[in-house]
Structure formats: structure tokens, C-alpha cells
Amino acid sequence: MSFEAKSLNVAFPPCAVYQTPASERRAPRGEHIICDNPVMACEEKQRLGSEYEIATKNFSQAVSELQQQMGISSRAEYDRLARAADEARVKSEQARLALEQHIGAHRC
């Protein structure tokens, strides 16, 4: 079963939906739980999306702080801020990858 996006005229697979609480979900080893109900949202996708949003906001804030201190902070402070921005970037990329992997694996 697939659904067509009217504006793009592209067929999308049904969203993975969990109608039972996460603690009650079980799938055979190596398999994923997929539900063909496109109306409900995938709880895990929503959670991963929220984590990605938070991580990207943290990255943005770290870059803003680095930029504000450019040219006025000590070299040590600049290096600390640059490391913090880089760590936030990596966390953002990891969150994005987790979301993309989930979407790919569960087709949601």
C-alpha cells in the first residue's frame, strides 16, 4: 500500500506506526514492526525528530556564541568555544543520522 503526495506526484510508502506502548512492542530478531496506518504518527520518529531539533538549536547557539566572541576573546577562550561548537555539530549530525536511519529502516 502506498500513498501519493498530490503536490509532488510521488508515491510514498505508508508510515510506520506503533499502536502499542514501546514497552510492549516486540519484533522477531532483525525485523522491524511496521503498521500500515498512515494517520497516526510514528512515536520513535517524533522522538528522534525532537532530538535532532534540540541538537541543531544547540549547534546554532554554540556557533553564535563563537561568532560573538571572535576577535574579542582570548585564544584559549576562542579554542574552548570552537571545540564546543564542533562537539555540538557532531551531536547534531549524529541526531540527523539516527533520524534518517530510522526513516529508512521503518519507512515512516
State pLDDT tens for residues 63-72: 999 999 999 9
HEC assignment per residue over 79-98: HHHHHHHHHHHHHHHHHHHH
State pLDDT tens for residues 78-99: 999 999 999 999 999 999 999 9
Share of the chain above pLDDT 90, in %: 59
What pLDDT is attached to residue 85? 98
State pLDDT tens for residues 38-49: 545 799 999 999
User: Per-residue confidence at 102, pLDDT binned at 50, 70, 90?
Assistant: very high
